[in-house]
Amino acid sequence: MKKNLLIIGCAALLLTTACKNKQSMDNPFFGEWNTPYNIPDFEKIKPEHYMPAFEEGMKQQKAEIDAIVNNPEAPTFENTIEALEQSGALLNEVSAVFFNLSECINSKEMEKIAEEVSPKLAAHGDDIMLNAKLFERVKAVYDQRESLGLTGEQPRLLEETYKNFVRNGANIPADKQDRFREINSLLSSLTLRFGNNVLKATNDISLTLNEEQVKNLGLTDGQLAAAKEAAEADTSCKEAYKFTLHMPSWEPFMQNCNDREMRKLMWENYAFRCIPGSKYDNSAIIDSIVNLRLERAQILGFESHAAYTLDDCLAKTPEAVYKCLMDLWTPALKKAKQERDEYQKMLEKDHPGEKLQPWDWRYYCEKLRAERYSLDEEVIRPYFPLERVRQGAFDVANKLYGITFRENDDLPKYHPEAISYEVLDGDNVIAILYMDFFPRESKRSGAWMTNFREQYEDKDGNNVIPIISMVCNFSKPTKDKPSLLNFDESETLFHEFGHCLHGMLSQCHYRSLSGTNVPRDFVEMPSQVMENWCRHPQVMKEYAKHYLTGEAIPDSLITKIAAAATYGQGFINTELLAASLLDMDYHSITKPTKIVLPDFEDQAMAKIGLIPEIISRYKSPYFQHIFSGGYSAGYYSYTWTAILDADAFEAFRESGDLYNPELAKKFRFLLSHGNTIDPMKMYIDFRGKEPSVEPLKRNRGLN
């Protein structure tokens, strides 16, 4: 994924809002932070502080819920819905800090705490959602909604609160509630174990080579320098070069290494993580997760987990998702087969009689790209130093929305590599932004946006600014060069920054409706739309500058990048759509099914005709998005929202002004209003019509 949302282990906890009621103790969570903007004082937080803070947070919220339930006054919006929204401040705070840090500076201590607290949080969430007396009060207010004279965000909060209770079991029969609770507890532990296994497997496996072995492999000086520094940083490494399974190391190796056996070894190391029989086998966990999700969905009255999940999304039904994916699958697969045939011819010249394999694809893809478009990644990278790409994203945000970014190294930081910014709209600081760019063993792979605090207004009407974090895994600078991105990585930065804008520009009253708290198949739109600015020639000329000379990227190279924009899209779209369809197949089952790997995945891929030279973007044993990342029956959203983002950018393109002030104002309204208004209504108000799929097909060369 290119994104990710704050995952706190228990969806019900996302309802909680700020209401500090801390005790004066040594535990930093129990006192005022006394920091700029009330940022968590990361240096003072130790692992031993988390469990007492979690326990006290749950205790406080339980008391707040009891006060709502036992209120002798008749239920009202204020004494029930708003009171619930404002409950759990401490728990929300410690959860945000802990689960964010466990993603990017994990440790055995953090893993142990997560294993202990996750079932407790699930049980606590169930205690709220399955509290019959509390739901009785919520329902009483909901049933009177037409006569209450609610204004602003109040009707939406009431609707979402009621719906959240129903979706989390408030209406299920009493005799099924114990099993429902048990399922939630089991899932919280299983998803945690799945993610930890993937992280450990990714860190455990690497390819180490000596000076003689790297000669004539075709690897670039930059790759070799990074691999040498990785080896030097690993005291257990006995060789001169270390290549890891983290994308900044693995993918360039697969693209440039001319030794087919070494490519095969690295591909197998990557693709066979956590498979049946391996050290970190995830197969039994997958079987349990899939069947438990099905059982829970059916307790809630849905045919499948996908039906349950999609009922609260824009897509609404599994049928609609399958149709969207298959409409693009057919042209994508056709294009992928054409690409395969071209690469097969190239392979024949190097290895007569051999058949193209998955570990060959990236190598010949890059080779043909260089031949056809005279594009060499090592020619492109110098024009995309990380700092310039980051500044490019800042400049686009400034031109669209008028905001600026001021680095402030004095703000508390959770890790020395994190860069901290104040985000200003005029003279007003509207958000805090952290950027954390480089891989480390304690950080999970991928790139995501999250937050340590969401935007909201407190009980006195004061705006509480969000604390946003953007986490990536780009190549580290070497002794001789800064971090140089390829073009895909540049788009990743713009993508995650788009998520950050969604959180930073929020102007909502209620936290549970603010920022990125929108349907899963809408949340990727604000991020993906930013990629369009990243790749536009006009914008590229403004930020893509050579790290040594400062020279702007030449028009000839921009032309080549543009000409190659649809190159390789067969592979890119096929592997993405395959993963999306695999996700749907897991979560569309309607009866208990013994999930046997690799059989289930092989059958799913055979059904859609995936060619053997390509694998799903994520094979099941390391498909973190759906088994530990909150995207179950939701990975399709990257494609669903791609239709929206291409259509949205088309509005700017048609206007003749990439920074059209009127359109930017309308789009900022969409970004700033979170889930306070139906997202599709906001989109249509911005665009003036329903979205069209044609811009996406054109952009990807699939029309």
Which positions are annotated as active-site residues? Answer: 496
The two three-digit tokens of residue 562, written as one number: 């543009």
Q: How far apart are CA 576 and CA 578, in angstroms?
A: 5
Q: Which helix (H) or strand (E) covers residue 423, if one does?
A: strand 419-425
Count the neighbouring beta carbons within 10 Å of the beta carbon of residue 277.
7
Closest to 10 (Cα-Cα) out of 113, 120, 103: 120
C-alpha to C-alpha distances, 158 to 68, 151, 162, 335, nearest whole angstrom = 15, 11, 6, 48
DSSP state of 368: H
CB 319 within 8 Å of CB 307: no
Helical axes 569-587 vs 637-655, angle rounded to 10°: 140
CA distances from 179 to 133, 274, 292, 627 (A): 20, 29, 10, 21
Helix 386-401 to helix 525-535 angle, to the nearest 10 degrees? 110
Phi/psi class of residue 65: alpha, beta or left (left: φ > 0; alpha: ψ in -120 to 50)? alpha
Given the DSSP bridges, would you call strands 467-471 and 428-436 parallel, antiparallel or unpaired?
parallel
Instruction: Report residue 346 as tokens.
Output: 């190239």
CA distance 257 to 246: 16
Which single residue is written with the structure tokens 């290494």?
257
Q: How far apart are CA 193 and CA 178, in angstroms?
A: 23
* CB 481 within 8 Å of CB 547: yes
Environment class of 584 (CB within 10 Å of its CB; exposed 0-12, middle 13-18, buried 19+): buried
Q: Cα–Cα–Cα angle for 211, 213, 218, nearest 5°?
A: 100
Q: Could you tell me the CA-to-CA distances from 496 to 393, 396, 511, 527, 684 in Å, in that order?
A: 10, 14, 21, 6, 24
| Beta-carbon count within 10 A of 120 CB | 17
- In the block, tokens 């990227």 appear at 553
- Cα–Cα distance, 607 to 88 (Å, whole number): 47
The answer to whether 356 and 589 are in contact (CB under 8 A) is no
Q: Shortest CA distance to 165 belongs to which of 315, 312, 6? A: 312
CA dist., res. 448 & res. 661, Å (int): 29
Strands 206-209, 241-244: pairing kind: antiparallel
Beta bridge partners of 243: 207
Asked if 172 and 278 count as a contact pair (C-beta separation under 8 A), the reply is no
Give the 3-state secondary structure of residue 173: coil
CA distance 608 to 603: 9
Q: Dig out the tokens for 112 from the structure.
A: 């142990």
Query: Do residues 626 and 286 touch, judged by C-beta distance below 8 A?
Result: no
Amino acid identity for residue 674 in this structure: G
- N residues, the chain: 703
Q: What's CA 302's distance to the chain center, in Å? A: 26
